[in-house]
Structure 1
Amino acid sequence: MRFAMSIPQFHADGEFGPAAFRAYLARVERLGFDSAWAQEQTLGSKPQLGPAETMAYAAACTERLRLGCVVFVSTLHSPAHLAKSIASLDQISRGRIEAGFGTGGKRRPFGAFGVDPDRYVARFYEGLEVMTRLWRESHVDFSGEFWQLADASMEPKPFQKPNPPLWFGGSGRTALRRAAMTPGLFSGFFGAGQATTEKFAEQVRTVREALAEAGRPAQDFAIAKRVYIAVDDDARRARERINDELAALYMTRSPETEAAAIAGTPAECARRLHEVLAAGADLILFTPLFDPAGHAERLAGEVLPELGR
């Protein structure tokens, strides 16, 4: 079992506090969490700092903590630029970077990024091929539908060889099967925070079935889950607060997303987290949407001991 905390990214204009950010990351590291993760949302009304920039700052604030993003919506990026950014992060952190990737789904504002909405899945996988080849090969020749490279090189390569661990963030059965069965690409599946534990368990079964069909050892393919969480001695207050924060984050009320979130007393949270672990999670990413520092303390001191840590 591994446990991670989210990196605080929600800061309105002028509200970011460098000292508080540094103190939070240092404390998360001292409390023994495995890693800290950012997320990407380029367009949206809720103020949110970019993931790569936030990860770079976090790397300077820590020494041991692994750092990741789940997920980069890589369909909306130039793969050469994104590959360079991730390789640079891995170098300055001395090999502590992990990267999750997702297509973004059909509802993304593709027009704002110059992306053909009818070809976003093909663009996603072609972009990943470009990135991994730039990381792994000294010179790249590539003739694709979206990108063309002639004797292209990228230096320095990532600190981790051949590249940082790559996670797939998706939900559909076909997408999960393809990610699990594509050799040499993804090293794990990261379940979304909006997915209920029951849906996550179904996704894990799909991944493991695909791994078996492909002849890939299940133990070599990690399984993780983001969990939106609110810990409070007043369970009703915890539930009301997290539901309000989720509505602000997703700009709508969603019964399924609210059902996926865990809220309540430490004992109640531990009980539901046991269910997430039983569904197949090797890594749980705690994502409190308010008071992240307070949650890190309560999770480490009152919840994780109930999970056998």
Structure 2
Amino acid sequence: MQFAIGIPQFAFDPLELRCFLVRAEELGFDGAWTQEQIIGSESFIGPVELLAYAAACTERIRLGCAVFVTPLHNPVHLAKSIASLDRLSRGRIDVGVGIGGRGLPFAAFGVSSEDLVDRFTSGLQLMKRLWTESSVTFSGPFWQLQDAVMEPKPVQQPHPPIWFGANYPNAVRRAVRMGDGFIGAGSSTTARFRELENIARKAMAEFDQPDFAIAKRVYVALDDNANRARARIDRALKSLHGRGDIISVAAYGSTEDVVRGLSEVTDCGAEYIVLNPLFNDLEQMEWLAAEVIPRLV
């Protein structure tokens, strides 16, 4: 088992964030992950900028975003940003990609919701080629390049690991065919993750991908007062995801309660868990490292 921590992304003091990142590395977390929310009422720091800052604050810990909603991005720009992050971090970047769910304002980005899968797969293919080929000629329905050169290449070869966010069977199978790992969304339940994990395992055998990785983001709230923990994480999740029926995705309460919730996730086949507090981030991270993780490894 490996464990990562969610990087605080709400409006914050940069010096406090530096202390958080340094401490995450000292505590031995395997990774530190961001999310992407471009439009929303929360004061949410962008993932590319935050990962660049995190790279400057740390030496060892891997850094990732789960997920970039890639149809909202120009793949040439995104490929350049990720290659630059991989260089700045000396090869510590993980890249989460996803198509995006209902309710996203696709029109604000000049994107039609009718061709998302084609745009997603075509854009990912283009990014991989820009990372790995000396010169790229690409002719597709959305982007065209002629003898395009992108330097420098990422440190990691052939490119940084690609993690897919997916919530449907076809998307999970696509992840196994095209990616290096599947990461279950924090907004999905453990039961739903179990269903998708089973699909991923079958696809791994079908496509001969034994090294494909499986992960899950889990929102956590530690508090000896379980009712208080529930109320706080419920408010935070409603604010983050814009809906009020999401508390069932979180692990909250005492150490025993959170260990029990996370054990259910590991029992479903997760090999890597992104632990994501949504308040008192440093205090929660210390508690997780001292009392929760030792009981799960």
Category of TM-score, reference length = shorter chain: over 0.9
Q: Deviations over 1:214-237 (max 9, x none)?
A: 2222xx000000000000111111
Q: Is 1:216 aligned with 2:205?
A: no
Kindly report which structure 2 residues correspond to 1:1-309, keeping only aligned pairs within 5 A, or say none.
Answer: 1-11=1-11, 16-180=12-176, 182=177, 185-217=178-210, 220-254=211-245, 257-308=246-297
Would the aligned equivalents of 1:2 and 1:283 in 2 still touch at CA under 8 Å?
yes
SS at match of 1:146: coil
CA displacement at 1:109 relative to structure 2: 0.8
SS of the counterpart of 2:16? Answer: helix
Q: Offset at 1:107?
A: 2.7
The runs of 5 or more residues in structure 1 that have no matched partner are: none
Q: Deviations over 1:75-131 (max 9, x none)?
A: 100000000000000001000000000001243211000001111110000000110
CA distance, structure 1, for counterparts of residue 102 and residue 229 of structure 2: 32
Percent of aligned pairs with the same amino acid:
54
- In 1: Cα distance, 2:256 partner to 2:113 partner: 45
Q: What letter corresponds to residue 194 of structure 2 in structure 1?
A: A
Structure 1 residue 195 displacement after superposition: 1.1
Amino acid at match of 1:280: G
**1:190 Cα deviation from its structure 2 partner:** 0.3
- Give the AA of the match of 1:140: V
Pairwise CA RMSD: 0.9
Distance in 2 (CA, whole Å) between partners of 1:178 and 1:28 is 33
Which digits, 9 at most, give the CA deviation of each residue in 1:216-266, with x for residues without a partner? 22xx00000000000011111111110111111122201xx2111110101
**Amino acid of the residue matched to residue 74 of structure 2?**
S
**TM-score normalised by L of structure 1:** 0.95
Stretch moving more, 281-290 or 299-308:
299-308
Deviations 1:5-33 (A, max 9, x none): 0111111xxxx312111100000000000
Runs of 4+ deviating beyond 4 Å: none
